[in-house]
Amino acid sequence: MSTILTGGCCDTPSAPLIPLGDKGPGGRSGEIRTVALIGPPNSGKSTLFNRLTRLRQKVGNYPGVTVEQRVGLLAGAKHPIRIIDLPGVYSLTPYSDDERVAVNVLSGKMDGLPRPDAILLVLDVTHLSRHLVLAAPVIALGLPTLVLLNMADVFKRGGGSLDVLKLAGELGAPVAMVSATHETGLEVVDRFLNQDQNPSPSALLPVLQDLGQYRKWAGQVGGRVDYQPHLPSKWSRRLDDIVLHRVWGPLIFILVVGAVFQTVFGLGQPMSAAFQDLLTRVGQQAAPFIHNDLLRSLLLDGLWKGVSSVLVFLPQILLLFLFIGLLEDSGYLARAALIADRTMRSVGLNGKAFIPLLSAYACAVPAIMATRTIENKRDRIATILVAPFMTCSARLPIYTLLIAAFIPERPVIGVFLGSRACAMLSLYVLGFLAAIATAKLLKSSVLKSAANPFVLELPAYRWPTWNSIGLRLLDRGRVFLRQAGTIILAVSLLIWVLTNLPLHNGHVPQLEQSVIAHLGHAIEPVIRPLGFNWKIGIGLLTSVIAREVIVGTLGTIYGTDPATHALTLQNALRQDLTFAGAMALLVFFAFAMQCTSTLAIVRRETNSWKWPAIQFAYMTCVAYFAAFAVNQILSALTH
């Protein structure tokens, strides 16, 4: 891939850094310390950001809005250079949150961020006439700007061409052809950023009022720089003839979705189980080295267990993101959204919500992280709020336990479907129905979509690159561990303290004498109408960390109780719970928001405590009243 860099700025890459002192307030030197990365959506900006920073980045949120803030450090720079990755925007007219953030950052009005010293403008060269619209207002800001024409590989392969020198002349800024996915041409960025002075743009660009005029200007510039659009590869179109075929399209869709689902379950589940075993064994290995009983209990039963309960999600999350990454980078994800849109619309969501909701069957955490592809903020929040109703894998341990204990195996449809499988299936359907009903409720009230219509860009098919998917997996994994990890650590610690207080002569109390048992007794009057006793109450309290924790807690409670310690957990439960109470407990777990990781991720993705709080309250209420109804009706029927 050839790199053309023009504009007369980067001829002396190794020139010494001379502080100029005349640039900007406070005698700032000419060297670049902060650079903003801006470009339209789908211009490959994020890939470029990951490449330039090598993931040395901090992810947060801009104050007050659900716009993600990514700030990274340029890898391999002579002095630290901060890169701010701005949200993808088509223009600088502040119509959306994204655009307002971009304008504020570029003009130095964003709290906590200095005004950038330079701009990297990323444009997709295969859509130059549309993307140039952004170039005019960005370059007109007067900051040193490097224009990166991304996707140069696709462009050249498709026979596209343009005169880069002429374009640089038109824009008054250096222009370079690059490919972020293949990492070609990127050395110009280092040269641009590491030299002592960068001239401000030299051309006078039009400041126009409306997009139509900008579009016309972009078209004229395209003509003057001999822009020859590339021919979109024929096979992309031909592939779409099959993939979006009236009959084959939906069939392929179901096949792909089924394969992903099957792999995540078939592979992810045992991987998670094996990982759990490994983590438990690590804990056991470490146990003899900690001599103080209380400290050992704190470190192992409290912290390590809490950390493990987050870590066990990792294999599934990474596996899911691997597939979502493959689907997204290849271009199929957009096609899937197109096919699913008709169906999703009937519940008030859009096609882009389909894959996230499907992922929620494995785990709500990656599902909620995957909703970032939904640009419409209200649709995105609605999807985030309904995702935890999908039957995630953390519900399976308690489901299997209760079904095995209370539902005798009988054939329902011959040999194909037994009563136990039938019960499991009903729970899946129940969660799904709750999600749909909630979506409808939200979309017809508080989250009614205004303004932004549903648009979906169908990118040309591409081969995904391992490098780009690997970087994304690393990034997602880190975000999950940091966000969920910190909150879950705090909650685990709290629960451990409640389980181990008050001390009796310096010894930890029996579970029945602990604070958490008192809490269990305290909430008994509230949960008695659901058919639950105080032991289940403790389980409900501890499982706020994660749903599967209840199984361990119940095991401990019944194991230490002299009346039941000789029995298996199944038998103990059968003695202690009524059939109606057990069914109510299943229904409770189908609806309740017993997952701190999910709450932490929702808080992160929506940038407020409001949504996770509403979600927790709503789901707990639904769970409570549904369990209440189930217990009352079944008790009346069985008596």
Which range binds another protein by CB under 8 A, 125-133, 427-435, 556-564, 604-612? 125-133
Determine how many CB atoms are found less than 10 A away from the CB of residue 26.
6
206 binds another protein (CB under 8 A): no
Q: Rule CB under 8 A: choose which of 452, 486, 510, 570 binds another protein.
A: 452
Strand pairing category for 68-73 and 82-85? antiparallel
327 binds another protein (CB under 8 A): no
Are 473 and 53 within 8 A, CB to CB? Answer: no
Which range binds another protein by CB under 8 A, 239-247, 300-308, 405-413, 610-618? 239-247
Q: Side-chain half-sphere of 628: how many Cα atoms within 13 Å?
A: 10
Which range binds another protein by CB under 8 A, 7-15, 90-98, 272-280, 416-424? 90-98
91 binds another protein (CB under 8 A): yes
- Residues linked to residue 120 through DSSP beta bridges, in sequence order: 37, 146
Strand pairing category for 411-413 and 417-418? antiparallel
Closest contact distance (angstroms) between CB of 246 and another protein is: 5
Q: Rule CB under 8 A: choose which of 457, 463, 506, 636 binds another protein.
A: 457
Please report which residue ranges of 293-353 form alpha helices under DSSP H: 293-296, 305-311, 314-330, 332-345
CA Rg value for the chain: 29
234 binds another protein (CB under 8 A): no
Number of residues that bind another protein (CB under 8 A): 38
449 binds another protein (CB under 8 A): no
What is the footprint of another protein within residues 472-531 (CB under 8 A)?
none
Which one, 246 or 639, has the nearer CB to another protein? 246
Determine how many CB atoms are found less than 10 A away from the CB of residue 616.
20
Which range binds another protein by CB under 8 A, 17-25, 318-326, 335-343, 626-634? 335-343
63 binds another protein (CB under 8 A): no
249 binds another protein (CB under 8 A): yes
Strand pairing category for 34-38 and 118-124? parallel
93 binds another protein (CB under 8 A): yes
- The whole-angstrom distance between residue 357's C-alpha and the CA centroid of its chain comes to 12
Which range binds another protein by CB under 8 A, 122-130, 312-320, 528-536, 614-622? 122-130
Are 56 and 75 within 8 A, CB to CB? Answer: yes
Three-state SS string over 215-243 comes to: HHHHHHHHHHCCCECCCCCHHHHHHHHHH
Which range binds another protein by CB under 8 A, 31-39, 210-218, 356-364, 631-639? 210-218
Which one, 172 or 459, has the nearer CB to another protein? 459
Q: Rule CB under 8 A: choose which of 63, 76, 199, 250 binds another protein.
A: 250
- Residues linked to residue 413 through DSSP beta bridges, in sequence order: 417
576-579, long-range: CB < 8 A, 24+ apart:
576/533, 576/535, 577/406, 577/531, 577/532, 577/533, 577/536, 578/531, 578/635, 578/638, 579/406, 579/634, 579/638
Q: What is the DSSP string of 47-110?
A: HHHHHHHTT-EEEEE-TTSS-EEEEEE-TT-SS--EEEEPPP-S-SS--SHHHHHHHHHHTT-S
212 binds another protein (CB under 8 A): yes
Q: Rule CB under 8 A: choose which of 23, 115, 130, 166 binds another protein.
A: 130
373 binds another protein (CB under 8 A): no
Which one, 254 or 417, has the nearer CB to another protein? 254
220 binds another protein (CB under 8 A): no
Structure-block tokens of residue 281: 């064994």
244 binds another protein (CB under 8 A): yes
What is the footprint of another protein within residues 94-113 (CB under 8 A)?
95-96
Q: Rule CB under 8 A: choose which of 16, 414, 453, 562 binds another protein.
A: 453
The three-class DSSP label of residue 507 is strand
Give the separation between CA 332 and CA 638, rounded to whole angstroms. 51
332 binds another protein (CB under 8 A): no
Give the separation between CA 20 and CA 584, rounded to whole angstroms. 73
Q: Rule CB under 8 A: choose which of 90, 313, 406, 624 binds another protein.
A: 90
Which one, 339 or 384, has the nearer CB to another protein? 339
343 binds another protein (CB under 8 A): yes
Which one, 217 or 611, has the nearer CB to another protein? 217
635 binds another protein (CB under 8 A): no
Give all strands of the β-sheet with 175-177 in edge-to-edge order.
57-61, 68-73, 82-85, 34-38, 118-124, 145-150, 175-177
Q: Is the peptide bond before 315 cis (omega within 30 degrees of 0)?
A: no
Give the separation between CA 85 and CA 468, rounded to whole angstroms. 17
Which range binds another protein by CB under 8 A, 72-80, 264-272, 392-400, 456-464? 456-464
User: Site residues (CB under 8 A) for another protein?
Assistant: 90-91, 93, 95-96, 126-127, 129-130, 211-212, 215-216, 229, 232, 240, 244-247, 249-250, 253, 338-339, 341-343, 345, 351, 451-458
